[in-house]
Chains A and B, each alone.
Chain A
């Protein structure tokens, strides 16, 4: 088990900077999710931890020991690649047992351990097949088994569930999480599925264009997104964003004016973006006036698309049946404490600030 530390780590290929200077500490036994859009440097960071890429600068430490010069084979890391990277010429059993080859285990014990792990991820019926005879989801599970079999200090998962069907993904989520808790292996999960990140991980790292935007618990991300980018990325359906200007305690937009305040001193001034979560907006007798232009049933919930004085707004009601109809004139209100405000210029959150009807 390992405590992982990154100190001013960067990675660049010529002019292409994949990872900007990054500082990060992952505690022993922690389960961390790295979340971010495609191309933001998630895999690159993972590969630097695994020793596949050497950092351009900075240091990577495991339990306080610098790892930069340590070869991948000596780092005792289990990794599941985005592309699974199974060995095409070996059957599933040999694939899973491959890491044990280098640990001088007796062959029979290696096979036994491989079969145990295979049972764990439900591929024990596929042991004699070649990877080309497996479905994408099965390959992913074999890759997971191979990463787990040597009981690594650090488990790196690069989108390990992206190819599973919805049900299996849900089961695997729970199982990986339980497995991680049981074994206590420090685990880093890369994903661009925010639900996966919030349900599985103790902490989430959100990256954008090679930089860490925010590190925190799922709850932090939901209530206190550090930047406009994080706010847009987390939450489904995404946050309603209303652009406007703050002046003398009023929030002015094109068609409306809201009260503006702050728990920490004077209300903010200048360009402001207000974030209103769809699920915190409620229909009522008063509030912001608008008209329903579309309704999207989402199963357990219903999403209403509104055209209001503040612009387009999404309102989420946690009930499967429709309470309103398209074309209906409505009013929506919200709790000031749940609003988040961002500085339009820096795109960072203004702590303590709020808007109210």
Chain B
């Protein structure tokens, strides 16, 4: 064996060891990451889990924790099982099969263990217009002041959609203008946008109340929309400006020499580049509208003007301690649309980085 061959094999052996080490390091990293994520997300997940199980199982009115524990007993081993199959087994059909088997076993045990405890009775507020009265009796404090949940739902929906439409339209147009055109006071304007956002809206609540009173907008949904939109616009404009900044100006100029008017260039060439930004601003302003509580609580009184947040507040205020099941069910009902929206848009939202989209 020549010396050259010897060094060759030595080098090769080192590489194999290095490859093994790197593999183990990667696996170890993966496990600790998964462990860390589970530990961190537990405190976030648990309340939701509690809410869901209670809402579909509580019978007596009290919080039946037994179903919760049974559900945990099924879920925790199932999650551990799935994680183990994903980290320990090589990728491929076998691993997927093992994962499916774990899930199937968990599902069957789940049905057997908790199946009989499940019922939809706590959701009867969806078809019963006056649930609080039914539970507490008409003598109950505030019993007959409750609107039907669908009234609150419709109000919330109108509120959230209007919020989205106004914020999206104004911030898109304003963001484009600020990004593209020089005008006197542009820098100051941008700075004040940020300062406005940093300003806690809560401190404005009394002046806003007074202004709304004088303007005759107190206790109107459009009034609250105006307030929330105003407070939300600075940041949205700033975000949209960032997205427009990332669009090269020459494609716009190119569109205009290609025969497009400025508006056609904007709609056909520029807007498609910022649609992720618009989606983000749209989703966030919808969620903001959907979960708005402070201004809804302060500026609206009439029960026909209630929103979901107010409904949830009064339900829990009136029934907490009396019927946890209903409170949890209202909570689930309230969270569902946000969750749905987020899950559908999540794919696009994760593409977002500050001020633009990745490649």
Verify A102–B257 contact, CB threshold 8 A: no
Verify A52–B255 contact, CB threshold 8 A: no
CB distance from A219 to the nearest CB of B (A): 33
Taking a contact as CB atoms closer than 8 A, the residue among B250, B257, B272 that contacts A73 in the complex is B257
Q: Is A77 an interface residue (CB 8 A)?
A: yes
CB distance from B315 to the nearest CB of A (A): 46
Pick out which of these stretches binds chain B: A78-86, A190-198, A307-315: A78-86
Roughly how many angstroms separate A207 CA and B286 CA in the complex, as a whole number? 55
B268 surroundings in chain A (CB, below 8 A): 101
Roughly how many angstroms separate A163 CA and B150 CA in the complex, as a whole number? 62
A72 with B253: in contact, given A83-B248, A99-B258, A99-B259 (CB under 8 Å)?
yes
Verify A150–B250 contact, CB threshold 8 A: no
Chain B minimum-CB-distance residue to A47: B253
Roughly how many angstroms separate A15 CA and B253 CA in the complex, as a whole number? 24
Taking a contact as CB atoms closer than 8 A, the residue among B250, B257, B273, B359 that contacts A89 in the complex is B273
Verify B254–A79 contact, CB threshold 8 A: yes
Roughly how many angstroms separate A79 CA and B257 CA in the complex, as a whole number? 7
A85 with B264: in contact, given A73-B259, A102-B259, A146-B258 (CB under 8 Å)?
no
Q: Chain B interface: which size bin?
A: 10 to 19
* 101-120 of chain A: CB within 8 A of chain B: 101-103
Roughly how many angstroms separate A103 CA and B359 CA in the complex, as a whole number? 32
A75 with B251: in contact, given A87-B269, A89-B272, A102-B264 (CB under 8 Å)?
no
Verify A73–B253 contact, CB threshold 8 A: no
A87 with B251: in contact, given A102-B264, A132-B359 (CB under 8 Å)?
yes
B255 surroundings in chain A (CB, below 8 A): 87, 98
B 241-252 binary contact with A (CB < 8 Å = 1; else 0): 000000010110
Taking a contact as CB atoms closer than 8 A, the residue among B254, B260, B273 that contacts A85 in the complex is B254
Q: Is B192 an interface residue (CB 8 A)?
A: no
Q: Is A88 an interface residue (CB 8 A)?
A: yes
Q: Is B261 an interface residue (CB 8 A)?
A: yes
Q: Chain A interface: which size bin?
A: 20 to 34
Q: Is A50 an interface residue (CB 8 A)?
A: yes
Roughly how many angstroms separate A311 CA and B328 CA in the complex, as a whole number? 94
A73 with B251: in contact, given A87-B269, A132-B359 (CB under 8 Å)?
no
Chain A minimum-CB-distance residue to B271: A89
Verify A51–B260 contact, CB threshold 8 A: no
Q: Is A71 an interface residue (CB 8 A)?
A: yes
A101 surroundings in chain B (CB, below 8 A): 259-260, 268
B272 surroundings in chain A (CB, below 8 A): 87, 89
Taking a contact as CB atoms closer than 8 A, the residue among B250, B251, B257 that contacts A77 in the complex is B257
Q: Is B227 an interface residue (CB 8 A)?
A: no
CB distance from B277 to the nearest CB of A (A): 14
Verify A85–B256 contact, CB threshold 8 A: no
CB distance from B162 to the nearest CB of A (A): 29
B273 surroundings in chain A (CB, below 8 A): 88-89
Verify B256–A52 contact, CB threshold 8 A: yes
B250 surroundings in chain A (CB, below 8 A): 81, 83, 85
Roughly how many angstroms separate A11 CA and B67 CA in the complex, as a whole number? 77
Verify A75–B257 contact, CB threshold 8 A: yes
Interface residues in chain A, defined as those with a beta carbon under 8 Å from any beta carbon in chain B: 47, 50-52, 71-73, 75, 77-79, 81, 83, 85-89, 98-99, 101-103, 132, 146, 150
Q: A72-B253, A79-B254 are in contact. List 4 more A-B contacts (CB 8 A).
A: A52-B253, A73-B256, A75-B257, A87-B255
User: Would you give 18 A-B contacts (Cβ < 8 Å), ordered by A?
Assistant: A50-B253, A51-B256, A72-B257, A73-B259, A79-B257, A81-B253, A81-B254, A83-B248, A86-B251, A87-B255, A87-B272, A99-B258, A101-B259, A101-B260, A102-B260, A102-B264, A103-B259, A150-B258
